[in-house]
Amino acid sequence: MRIWLFIPLLCLVGCSPASRESAPGANAPPAALAVAVQDAAIKRGKAVAAETFALLSANLQSAIQSGGVSNALPFCSLAASPLTASMAEKHGVTLKRVTHKPRNPTAKADAEELAVLQAFEAALITTTNPPAPFATNLVSGQATFFAPIVINNELCLKCHGEPGRDISIADLAIIRQHYPQDQATGFRFGQLRGAWRIDFPLGSLNPEPQTAAQTP
């Protein structure tokens, strides 16, 4: 599945005027990210997401080649999380995939993540342009990068499509065996599956220096 990216026009953090008046400084939103920091987070986020996607895809393809979709399903259950964790450790970030329709309950989006996913879905409906990445300031001291994950490979439907049409009855039984609370079926080609979320410590982001204009 290709990574599509979008800049949603929504406010993800903030507090009401009443809360600010009753408790000055309490629950204050983190400072807005400088444009250069946003750019650095987006650049690094795209690279980390692409590298992680390539690693997961290579292992998934190997599992499919070894034993078909039925062999790949246990891989997703047992190996995907450790591989993702290894990439997070390598890059010194917090890295996860979040979704509005989880297969693994740990990937269920929280309220802020769900707002992002809804914006991505709206973008896919209203425009033919690929969504773009964005970075925001959900937590003080870090930049949070989001990138949508869109189903754009028919093979994805073998595990996430319509049961009985895209997903065989035998494979559906394996899915339910590994994920009794599965919600991640019924998708169609081109729909949003979820999003990458990467949290970068601000100290790890080094915006590229601006070249000073030379005078003649």
Q: Supply the DSSP string of the chain, one letter for each residue.
A: --B-------------HHHHHHSTTTTPPPPPPPHHHHHHHHHHHHHHHHHHHHHHHHHHHHHHHHH-HHHHHHHHHHTHHHHHHHHHHHHTSEEEEEBSS-SSGGGB--HHHHHHHHHHHHHHHH-SSPP--EEE-SSTTEEEEEEEEE--SGGGHHHHS-BTTTB-HHHHHHHHHH-TT-------TT-EEEEEEEEEEGGG--PPPPPPPPP-
pLDDT of residue 193: 95
> Is residue 5 one of the residues assigned to a domain?
no
Q: What is the mean pLDDT, run by run of 10 residues, along the chain of 216 residues? A: 39 31 49 92 97 93 87 81 95 97 94 96 80 92 96 90 95 92 94 96 78 48
Query: Phi first, then psi: what are they for 181, rounded to 5°?
Result: -105, 25
> Is residue 209 one of the residues assigned to a domain?
no
> Is residue 130 one of the residues assigned to a domain?
yes
Number of domains present in the structure of the chain = 1
pLDDT of residue 27: 55
Query: Contact 61/161 with Cβ under 8 angstroms?
Result: no
> Is residue 26 one of the residues assigned to a domain?
no
> Is residue 41 one of the residues assigned to a domain?
yes
Rg (CA), the chain: 20
pLDDT of residue 128: 62
pLDDT of residue 126: 82
> Is residue 19 one of the residues assigned to a domain?
no
Length of the chain: 216
pLDDT of residue 14: 30
Full domain range(s) for residue 131: 33-204
What distance in Å separates the CA atoms of residue 77 and residue 107, rounded to the nearest whole number?
A: 12
> Is residue 13 one of the residues assigned to a domain?
no
> Is residue 214 one of the residues assigned to a domain?
no
pTM for this entry: 0.81
Encoded tokens for 21? 């008046």
